[in-house]
Structure 1
Amino acid sequence: MSTPAPGVGAATPAAGQVLLAPPATNREGAIERSLGIAAVIGSPAYPRDEAWIRESVGIAWDRNHDPVGVGRQLAAIRLSPDRRPALGELGMPVLVVHGEADPLIQVDGGRETAAAIPGAELLVVPGMGHDIPRALWETVVDAVVALVHRAEPVGRPPVPQPAENRYPETHKHARWGRLLDSKGNSPGGDTA
């Protein structure tokens, strides 16, 4: 999601400028552009995983490069109306996770979003930008799991409580569907 209303959580000039740079015209250009964007909007307190950025951007380029779609998305964000009235109608458990150091959607955008949603919880993460670095995955997952376990069931059986070992030795991770161990490594030894 972007900001809840125009003028709330506005991007810093540097963040806005890096996103409005001309789009890449080839795969390597897209990777380099994304590395430049990550340097501006990423989490300043955590190491940037350039190998992961290169891999994920390359996969995205190969799958479906669509510069027109990117332009439409940026236009939709900029032209969005005030979402706070609609957010106030939500009747579900909500956790807003926001980086305290996010220059793209500054932290007041996250605070305003959480304030607009009845009963929403807000997790402001120090040193996090407009990404979720690997070092924070467990923090974010734990916050989501806690939210799920506090949620009231609505016509469905309750969510089962986690087993004693929340992070089994191996698990299927959403990152491109690879099998990863608890440290994010694939069985073949390469890191994810």
Structure 2
Amino acid sequence: MKVTANGLQIEVDDTGGEGRPVILLIMGLGMQLVAWPTAFVQQLVEAGFRVVRHDNRDIGLSQGFDHAGVGNIVWETIRHRLGLKVRSAYTLQDMALDSLGVLDALGIERAHIVGASMGGMIAQRIAAFAPRRTASLVSIMSSSGARGLPGPRREVAAMLMRRPMGRDEAALVAHSIRLLRLIQSPAYPQTDEELSERLVFSMRRSYHPAGLMRQMLAIGADDERPALLPRIQSPTLVLHGEADALVPIACGEDTARRIPGSKFVSVPGMGHDLPPEVCDIVARHIAPFAHAADAATTRP
């Protein structure tokens, strides 16, 4: 369903019913709400939560920003490496306000904010700027964005710069599978058939590479976040895969160090994806953590 959030039309999925504590799931770069697997959502619902997912702006079925153009990603990358400000059509703070707008549209005052990768960066901003709306923060396979942290492995960075061999669905799927193979959880590999089924479903729902590029520039422009993380007062859990080839585990460790009182959990064999086994592990960390945060706020 569509809601108006922060002045934009945002696609939302709301599961679990009213009267339950709410978990807001925020997905990463170029990823749609369906990248949070249905089985994962159901596991959280069975644990007693109402689960809200949404397509971030410029991706999926939410409002796009094609009128803003794409910008020069190569030049902006050079600017970032030189320590200059990256120019972007919008910011991660704008996207954080979108997420809060989703809660407003649904009449939700307070939620457990859970974000993966770029979604973790957005979630961090929500926790820093809207503590009263944040029952807890869970940052998954994400980063503080601090300069000097390690980047993707060389082969991953090279693959990110390659273009698909064609524009037809088969070529796009094959290209995406090659990338996913490089960043997958080595302990929990998925077959090409499983990856292809998920990719085809996602692409047929929406395919918007220009939105991904604008989101990438928003990440590059977000250079203030490291200094904001010490402001976070909400209970915080940082989850990171020990085998993450896209956002190395040092990025998660740095995030946890910057947030007072946060809990850091490393997951052996987890990369930068959410196969069923990893979803199960992540859900079994999130559910008790969120329940404990709720119990702490109601304790006399």
1:125 aligns with 2:267: yes
1:92 aligns with 2:234: yes
Give the secondary-structure state (helix, strand or coil) at the position aligned to 2:256.
Answer: helix
1:111 aligns with 2:253: yes
Select which of 37, 42, 56 maps to 2:184. 42
**8 Å contact from structure 1 (residues 9, 110) kept in 2:** no
Q: Larger % of helix: which? A: 2
Q: How many residues align?
A: 157
When the two structures are superposed, what TM-score results if normalisation uses the length of structure 1? Answer: 0.72
Displacement of 1:154 after TM fit? 8.1
Aligned to 2:159: 18
Farther off after superposition, 62-71 or 17-26: 17-26
* Divergent runs of 4+, >4 A: 152-155
Structure 2, unpaired ranges of 5+: 1-117, 119-141
Aligned to 2:148: 7
1:150 aligns with 2:150: no
Farther off after superposition, 101-110 or 136-145: 136-145
Aligned to 2:62: none
Give the secondary-structure state (helix, strand or coil) at the position aligned to 2:272.
Answer: coil
Distance 1:58 1:144 in 2: 29
Distance 2:149 2:191 in 1: 29
Distance 1:93 1:50 in 2: 38
What are the superposed Cα offsets for residues 113-136 of structure 1, whole Å, 9 maximum, x if unpaired? 111112221111111111122222
Give the secondary-structure state (helix, strand or coil) at the position aligned to 2:231.
Answer: coil
Farther off after superposition, 107-116 or 61-70: 61-70
Identity %: 31
What are the superposed Cα offsets for residues 51-100 of structure 1, whole Å, 9 maximum, x if unpaired? 33212211221122111112222223334314222222222222211111
Q: Larger % of strand: which? A: 2
**8 Å contact from structure 1 (residues 43, 102) kept in 2:** yes
Structure 1, unpaired ranges of 5+: 159-192
**8 Å contact from structure 1 (residues 3, 10) kept in 2:** no
Distance 2:147 2:228 in 1: 14
Displacement of 1:152 after TM fit? 4.3
**8 Å contact from structure 1 (residues 6, 80) kept in 2:** no
